[in-house]
Amino acid sequence: MFSFVWFVIVILICINAFYVAAEFAAVGIRKSRIKQLADEGGILAAKLWPLLNDGRMLDRYIAACQIGITWSSLVLGAYGQAALGASLVPFLTSIGFEFENSLSISALFILVTLTTFQIILGELLPKSLALHNPVRTGLWTVIPMRWSLTAYSWFIDLLNGSGWLLLKLVGISPNSHRHIHSPDEIHLILTKSKESGALEQDELKRLQGALRLSRRPVRQLMTPRMKMKTLNLSTSQDEVLREVSRTAFSRLPVYRGTTDKIEGVLYVKDLLKTYLETQTVSPLQELIRPVLFVPETMTAEKLFVFLREHSAHIVMVVDEFGGVVGLVTLDDLLSEVLGDMPDEFKGWDFIPERLPDGRLRLSGLMRLDEVEEWVGVAWKGDADTVGGYVMEVLGRIPESGERLSIGATVVEVESVKQNLLASVLVMPSARENRAKKDE
């Protein structure tokens, strides 16, 4: 009889553990993985996918788990107390306790013991197993859970209806269970995936670059006006040929009078095609193609859509006053996702150079958010570039050779050209030096 009682108790704890595992698996599972397995012909995945993909069905799935956990816990407590509550009474009375006190102590001891077993074996253990491998746990539990959904359907309707009614009474709109993550949360998930070995470093950078497109303004991606190679609309035909032969650029903005008045873009292939056919150079006005303009505050994500809609590869960037401040190409957007690549307009000016004495040469046009990777500490300010940040710290345009401290980092202004801070020399932090040595 005693062994049968413990057999029933073990079964009840196992039932409780099953529902706990099913619930945590449903919450922690990656739906994309289940969809992939279902598409590959997985029978269990095909049964689980509709339950996870439908918010209403997921609500019912979780409710079924909670019902199973609740009734198995209640039955375990009631049955254990009834079957074992008085089992210690003979021992307690033999050592001097009164019968009434022995009955209470025995019942309390059995309750604490069963609760401990239930928490460890029926709650903590299955929860850990389910979170460690939610896909496998979800597949193993889906068939019994579908039976439970059928058996508890009327009770689930009653409970969900009552819960939604109470939420509406207090002015809260009931929402289904949905896995929604903000960009910052997705960034954290990607970082954790890299730390766990699920992603390589290059994969992490590409995914993070794609996420940044929604927040990165085009002014942080553009080639600034000071670095643009342009042609005046009044440039002679011979001079146009000489300029094209001296540059590797395939597209040159053409302006009238000043670079704030961009008339269009000269595609070098158009010039060469005309020259090969006629042995002469047509006037720039006849060769240039229309150019598009975008505000410097437009996000990179919107710019990508804009370029696709207009079948364009290059746009001019203007500030709030309508002045041209730079240009952005499709290659700039691709570099944001795929990483730095040689660019026909920027060249290699943005790539940091390590000097023999350990210092780094950073371009003044290097993006401020890229500094930490090289220097070891983050520089935070309102400026978008290294040069802009140095001027922000000083409150003026620096002179070549001038030194300043940014936190514990000593920065030397190496070159200033036409009020543009071209490059700085930085001694990386000790943490960055150690990281380089470890590599």
Query: How do residues 87-107 score in pLDDT, each as one tens digit?
Result: 777 777 778 777 777 778 887
- Tell me, rounded to whole angstroms, the distance of Cα 247 from its chain centroid: 39
**Is the pLDDT confidence value at 398 over 90?**
no
HSE value, Cβ hemisphere, 13 Å, CA-based, for 96: 0
pLDDT of residue 315: 92
pLDDT of residue 295: 93
Residue 140, SS3 per DSSP: helix
d(CA 98, CA 152): 45
**Is the pLDDT confidence value at 174 over 80?**
no
Q: What is the pLDDT of residues 178-198, one digit of tens each?
A: 555 566 666 676 677 667 666
Q: What is the pTM of this model?
A: 0.51
pLDDT of residue 196: 66
- Measured in residues, the chain has a length of 439
**What is 150-184 written as a DSSP string?**
HHTHHHHHHHHHHHHHHHHHTT-----------HH
For residues 146 and 152, the answer to whether their CB atoms sit within 8 Å is no
Element (H, E) at 123: none
Instruction: Work out whether strand 258-267 and strand 251-256 pair parallel, antiparallel, or are unpaired.
Output: antiparallel
* Helices marked H in 247-299: 268-278, 284-287
Name the DSSP class of 417: E
Tokens of 429: 């932090």
d(CA 130, CA 46): 19
Residue 413, SS3 per DSSP: strand
Q: What is the pLDDT of residues 409-434, one digit of tens each?
A: 888 898 888 788 888 899 875 444 44
d(CA 252, CA 219): 19
pLDDT band of residue 316 (cuts 50, 70, 90) is very high
Q: What is the pLDDT of residues 197-221, one digit of tens each?
A: 666 777 767 776 677 677 778 888 8
pLDDT of residue 186: 66
* Helices marked H in 199-287: 201-212, 237-246, 268-278, 284-287
Helix axes 268-278, 237-246, angle to 10 degrees: 130
**Is the pLDDT confidence value at 437 over 50?**
no
Tokens of 189: 């998930």
Tokens of 216: 């990165």
pLDDT of residue 250: 83
d(CA 89, CA 107): 9
Instruction: Work out whether strand 353-354 and strand 360-363 pair parallel, antiparallel, or are unpaired.
Output: antiparallel
**Is the pLDDT confidence value at 18 over 90?**
yes
Across the beta sheet with 251-256, what order do the strands follow?
Answer: 231-232, 251-256, 258-267
d(CA 43, CA 46): 5
d(CA 353, CA 338): 21
**Is the pLDDT confidence value at 342 over 90?**
no
Q: What is the pLDDT of residues 27-84, one digit of tens each?
A: 888 787 888 888 888 899 888 888 888 777 888 888 889 898 998 888 888 888 787 7
Q: What is the pLDDT of residues 225-261, one digit of tens each?
A: 888 888 888 888 788 888 888 877 788 899 988 888 8
CA dist 382 to 73, 385, 386, 388, Å?
A: 57, 9, 11, 9
| Percentage of the chain exceeding pLDDT 90 | 8
Q: Classify residue 118 by burial, with Cβ atoms within 10 Å: 0-12, 13-18, 19+.
A: buried
Residue 248, SS3 per DSSP: coil
Using left for φ > 0, alpha for ψ between -120 and 50, and beta otherwise, residue 407 falls in: left
- Tell me, rounded to whole angstroms, the distance of Cα 251 from its chain centroid: 34
The larger pLDDT score, comparing residue 125 to residue 346, is at 125
Of 331, 352, 373, nearest in space to 223 by CA: 331
Q: Which of 291-300, 330-339, 342-351 has the lowest mean pLDDT?
A: 342-351
pLDDT of residue 275: 77
pLDDT of residue 20: 92
pLDDT band of residue 375 (cuts 50, 70, 90) is confident
pLDDT band of residue 339 (cuts 50, 70, 90) is low
Q: What is the pLDDT of residues 112-139, one digit of tens each?
A: 888 888 889 888 898 888 888 888 898 9
**Is the pLDDT confidence value at 344 over 60?**
no
